[in-house]
Amino acid sequence: MRKEYEVLDDFLHSKGLRHTHQRKKIVDIFLSTEKHVSLDDLFKLVHKEDRTIGYTTVYRTMRLLTDCGLSNEIDFGDGVSRFEHKFGHEHHDHLVCMKCGRFIEVVKQKIEDLQGRLAKEHGFLPTAHRLHIFGICKRCQSRGASSKG
């Protein structure tokens, strides 16, 4: 678990950007957080540890991480961007539960392959894709009607 910092270092260096203790702390917390955090989530986590770090800095740091490829920005269509870091889990799709809001990460290689083929059939050169399947998760099904956790 050192590579992630190197990636950021290289990126900062190559762009003439600087190391700051704020960035270090934000990155530490982000990388140690399992997964999909909104800016607000992350700001709260950071704020708990360091009251002097502002929302704006978290925002800018996340953009930095996204730009250098350490973070992935995801959008479930609820008007809030979420971020997930890219270590351990490479590409994956999401099963999003409409009841409890939780999501499961999944991959099915055959689907990946077919997507590539589908793109090719249309002369399309794919660079990325996003698949969200919405529904009700196992837990919420067995719990019947309501619930929120």
> Taking a C-beta distance cutoff of 8 angstroms, is the pair 67, 12 a contact?
no
**Please, what is the minimum distance in Å from the beta carbon of residue 113 to its own copies?**
10
Query: Under 8 Å CB-to-CB from 11, ≥6 apart: which residues?
Result: 17, 64, 67, 68
Residue 111 makes contact with its own copies by CB under 8 A: yes
- Least distance to its own copies, CB of residue 93, Å: 8
74 contacts 36 by C-beta, under 8 angstroms: yes
Window contacting its own copies (CB under 8 A); options: 19-27, 28-36, 56-64, 111-119: 111-119
Q: Is 48 in the site for DNA (CB under 7 A)?
A: no
| 114 binds its own copies, rule: CB under 8 A | yes
Q: Does 80 bind its own copies (CB under 8 A)?
A: no
- Under the binding rule (CB under 7 A), the answer on residue 94 touching DNA is no
Q: Which is nearer to DNA, 20 or 32 (CB)?
A: 20
Measure Cα distances from 99 to 21, 36, 55, 92, 119 in Å: 39, 17, 29, 21, 33
Residue 69 has what DSSP assignment? T
